[in-house]
Amino acid sequence: MKEAMIKRDTRMNAETTPLLQVNDLSIGFGDQPPIITDVNFSIDRGETLALVGESGSGKTITCRSLLRVLPRSAVIHSGTAVFDPKASAPVDLFSLSEKELRDVRGDRISMIFQEPMHSLSPLHRIGHQVAEVLTLHRGHSRASAKAEVVEKFRRVGFVDPERAFAAYPFELSGGMRQRAMIAMAMIARPELLIADEPTTALDVTTQAQVLELIKGLQEETGMAVIFVTHDLGVVANIADQVCVLRKGRVMESGPTDIVIGAPAHGYTRKLLAAAPAIPHSAQPSAARPVVDPILQLEGINKTFVSRAGSFFGKRREVQAVKNVSLTVERGKTFAIVGESGSGKSTVANIALGATAADEGGAIRYWPEKGALPVDVAHLDKSERQAFQREAQMVFQDPFSSLSPRMQIIDILTEPLRIHGIGTRKEQRERAAELLEKVGLDKNMLRRFPHAFSGGQRQRLSIARALALNPSLLVCDEPTSALDLSVQKQVLELLEGIRDDFGLSYLFISHDLAVVARIADEVAVMRQGQIVEQAAPDVLFTAPRHPYTKALIAACLEADVSQKINLQTVALGAGDPHTWPEAYAMQGSSLPPLVETEPGHLVRVNP
């Protein structure tokens, strides 16, 4: 057992010692080899340290070990974490007793987690959950705690803090819940805030606002922040120091401008190269009319009816998609960009006939140039079978899209067996061929999906979608569950097979930077409607709509010199009623979609 207390007088100079100094940290599960090895970092008062890494890098375990909120079987093998608060003598967090640690948690050091829904108790009013810290650590009375919480809620951006105090977590949106979490973490004025991917589950525009909030609070209170993230764009915008982790080891650490600006380690360089970016200057190309469409949606509406839980309950209608029209050109990529709840995935499902649209619209599919279009919404059995061979889908989550009980060979040959194509032997050969097409090895046929990494599984998913030789792929956020470096490889693969096989893509994404790379035409959706549509170079260099501008402004780039323009973000991401007059929602309808220039559609009053 190490000495819990390190004598204050052994320190050379109280002002220069870091707030937290972690040395030689090693953590392992049970008796397996350590997953965190020799991690060192330190953070000064008022500074922001970013722990950066991809999935499996151990960044979350590292930050959670500081407060010892680890999975049950995890053991800290070695290391010290000397925490030096202003008010008391420095302590080693790893050798504190549980009881002593409780006084540190939530009081001197507090933490915010990735998923705000799971970190707030659904059964208690938010205000009371936040006030608990004050009554526990500060001995406040209920009334004085409430006053302070309401004040804090106002500070973190609740318009009506009294109402937020009495609200339950499910009444708030994700961004608002994360604000409540921040209020909870900040209420005891901690000296160190540990933020574990606090913005990953949020939309980009919300992310920008939450980051700004954390930064503002930090300036006010002078606390230090450890920011765990996988996103170099976030790092460049918020951190003073960076610590790049890979497989539980520190690859590179140092001041942000050096590590991001002039990375010395190959891994950091690779991460930076993989970060997608929005082109800043490109010559807008002239618009061309679509001559050879493959898929066309015209005037599509979709209303979901929910029965509000009860058999006899009232029907509640939600319009997820409003009057969407789009045309995918053969051999090209049409991208739909939008935040969660924009209706983009519903459009994808409607395009494949997997979800029935409301009556009135039309979905047309041209099997080949000049042929008569097929009406996707009204297919008979044999037409549907033929259409399924032509159009396939690539899913978002590589961990849910492959059945864990099937071997790769069964997964890849299943489409062929469903459609009765080929003999067993031919099917097996086809599966091997598919594996090689997506860059994997044919000796993997007998493996099980769980042996593969996220990127490999997404390749398998793409291979399965290719099995029937389709002409159209609908990709529903195919890269958003992947690490940045893997995301880049998968995008390259998608581009490669599009060009090799003349595929056409309907590409759904929430990430403008991803779309910038792959799309030939981009539509931005908000609340079920397309608000702006153009070729990517037009859209990114000359966006017209405030929402598009907000999305572009909220994109964080791994470039220290680029900072977020928060005003643009707040304006465009806000309520559609508050948009500038020409774009604003009147009553419940937005202005019509007009072609302001050739090939550039904007929802604006002419």
Partner 1 sequence: MTTLPNNHYVDDAPYDPDEDIKSLDRPDLDAPSWQLIWRKFKRHKLGLWSGIFLLLAYLSLPFVGFLVPYTPNERNADHLYAAPQMVRLFHDGTFIGPYVYPITAEADLENFRWNYVEDRENPARLEYFCKGDDYNFLGLFRAETHLFCAPEGATVFLWGADRLGRDIFSRIFYGAQLSLTVGLIGITVSFILGITIGGLAGYFGGRTDWGVQRVIEVLRSLPELPLWLALSAAVPSHWGPMAVFFVISIILGLLDWPGLARAVRSKFLALREEEFVRAAEMMGAKPNRIIRKHLLPNFASHLIASAMLSIPAMILGETALSFLGLGLRAPAVSWGVMLNDAQNLASIEIYPWTAIPMLPVIVVVLAFNFLGDGLRDSLDPYSDH
Q: Where does 386-434 show beta strands of DSSP type E? A: 391-394
Burial class (CB in 10 A: 0-12, 13-18, 19+), 342: buried
- Smallest gap from Cβ 442 to partner 1, in A, equals 10
451 binding partner 1? (CB under 8 A): yes
**Three-state DSSP state, 26:** strand
34 SS3 class = coil
Q: Which of 354, 356, 542, 594 binds partner 1 (CB under 8 A)?
A: 354
Q: Which of residues 213 and 494 has its CB atom nearest to partner 1 in the complex?
A: 494
- 452 belongs to the binding site for partner 1 (CB under 8 A): yes
Least distance (Å) between residue 528 CB and partner 1? 21
The yes or no reply on residue 44 touching partner 1 (CB under 8 A) is no
Closer CB to partner 1, 180 or 352, in the complex: 352
Residues 259-318 that bind partner 1 (CB under 8 A): 259, 264-267, 269-270, 311
Say whether residue 124 binds partner 1 (CB under 8 A). no
Give the one residue of 3, 103, 162, 441 binding partner 1; rule: CB under 8 A.
Answer: 441
Closer residue to partner 1, CB minimum distance, 200 or 388: 388
Q: From the CB of 400, what's the least distance to partner 1, in Å?
A: 4
The reply to whether 369 sits near partner 1 by the rule CB under 8 A is no
Which one of 80, 253, 346, 504 is in contact with partner 1 (CB under 8 A)?
A: 253
User: Are the C-beta atoms of 390 and 472 separated by less than 8 Å?
Assistant: yes
Nearer to partner 1, 156 or 493 (CB): 493
Verify binding: residue 402, partner 1, rule CB under 8 A: yes
Q: Which is nearer to partner 1, 180 or 272 (CB)?
A: 272
Which residues 82-121 are close enough to bind partner 1 by CB under 8 A?
Answer: none
Strand partners, 78: 26
Q: First vs last Cα of the chain: how many Å apart? A: 74
- Exactly one of 121, 306, 385, 578 binds partner 1 (CB under 8 A); that residue is 385
Whichever of 13 and 588 has its CB closer to partner 1, that residue is 13
Give the number of C-alpha atoms closer than 13 A to the C-alpha of residue 377, restricted to the C-beta side: 18
Spatial distance between the Cα atoms of 570 and 265, rounded to a whole number of angstroms: 37
Phi/psi at 310 (5° precision)? -115, 155
Closer residue to partner 1, CB minimum distance, 241 or 568: 241
Beta-bridged to residue 306, according to DSSP, are 316
240 binds partner 1 (CB under 8 A): no
Q: Give the nearer residue to partner 1 in terms of CB position, either 44 or 212.
A: 44
Does 419 sit near partner 1 (CB under 8 A)? Answer: yes
Per-residue interface string for the shown chain with partner 1, residues 10-29, x marking contact by CB under 8 A: -------------------x
Q: Decide if residue 206 touches partner 1 (CB under 8 A).
A: no
User: What's the min distance (Å) between Cβ of 441 and partner 1?
Assistant: 4
Of 25, 47, 48, nearest to 35 by C-alpha is: 25
Spatial separation of the C-alpha atoms in residues 165 and 79, rounded to whole Å: 41
Distances, alpha carbon 221 to alpha carbons 35, 113, 215, 325, in Å:
35, 20, 10, 50
Bridge-based pairing state of the strands 20-29 and 36-43? antiparallel
Decide whether 48 or 548 has the Cβ nearer to partner 1.
48
Looking only at residues 49 through 88 of this chain, which bind partner 1 when binding is defined by CB under 8 A? 71-74
Query: With respect to partner 1, which residue has the nearer C-beta, 355 or 565?
Result: 355
Number of neighbouring beta carbons within 10 Å of residue 465: 24
Both structure tokens of 6: 């390190």
- CB-nearer residue toward partner 1: 254 or 367: 254
Instruction: Tell me: does residue 420 bind partner 1 (CB under 8 A).
Output: no
The verdict on 497 binding partner 1 (CB under 8 A) reads: no
Q: What does the alpha-carbon distance between residue 94 and residue 81 come to, in Å, rounded to a whole number?
A: 6
Within residues 537-596, the interface with partner 1 by CB under 8 A covers none
217, 250, 445, 553: residue in contact with partner 1 (rule CB under 8 A): 250
Among 384, 424, 563, 577, binds partner 1 (CB under 8 A): 384
- The CA distances from residue 370 to 245, 378, 473, in Å, are 54, 20, 20
Selected from 161, 455, 536, 572, the binder of partner 1 by CB under 8 A is 455
Q: In angstroms, rounded to a whole number, what is the distance separating the alpha carbons of residues 494 and 488?
A: 10
Integer angstrom CA distances of residue 303 from 350, 553, 586, 593: 12, 31, 21, 20
**Residue numbers 465-494 binding partner 1 by CB under 8 A:** 468, 489
Shortest Å distance, C-beta 71 to partner 1: 5
Q: Which residues contact 25 (CB under 8 A, 6 or more apart)?
A: 36, 38, 39, 40, 62, 65, 76, 78, 79, 81
In the list 59, 64, 430, 459, the residue contacting partner 1 (rule: CB under 8 A) is: 459
Find the shortest distance in angstroms from Cβ 431 to partner 1: 14
Select from 454-462, 497-505, 553-561, 571-579 the region that touches partner 1 (CB under 8 A): 454-462
Residue 534 host element (H or E) = strand 529-534
Give 402 or 434: the residue with its C-beta nearer to partner 1.
Answer: 402
**Mode of pairing for the β-strands spanning 224-229 and 48-52:** parallel
User: Is residue 252 involved in binding partner 1 (CB under 8 A)?
Assistant: yes
Return the number of the residue (2 or 450) whose C-beta is nearest partner 1: 450
Looking at the Cβ atoms of 176 and 558, the one nearer to partner 1 is 558
Q: Of these, 75, 439, 537, 584, which contacts partner 1 (CB under 8 A)?
A: 439
Long-range contacts of 369-374 (CB under 8 A, 24+ apart): 369/292, 369/330, 373/296
Smallest distance from partner 1 to CB 213, Å: 28
Q: Which is nearer to partner 1, 303 or 403 (CB)?
A: 403
Best CA proximity match to 192, nearest among 93, 83, 89, 59: 83
- Give the E-state strand segments of 137-247 in sequence order: 192-196, 224-229, 241-246
Six-digit token string for 477: 């956020």
254 makes contact with partner 1 (CB under 8 A): yes
Q: Is 570 exposed, middle or buried (0-12, 13-18, 19+ CB in 10 A)?
A: middle
Cβ-Cβ contacts under 8 Å for 370 (sequence gap 6 or more):
none
The residue ranges that bind partner 1 (CB under 8 A) are 29-30, 40, 71-74, 249-255, 258-259, 264-267, 269-270, 311, 352, 354, 384-385, 388, 392-393, 395-397, 400-406, 414-415, 418-419, 439-441, 444, 447-448, 450-453, 455-456, 459, 461, 464, 468, 489
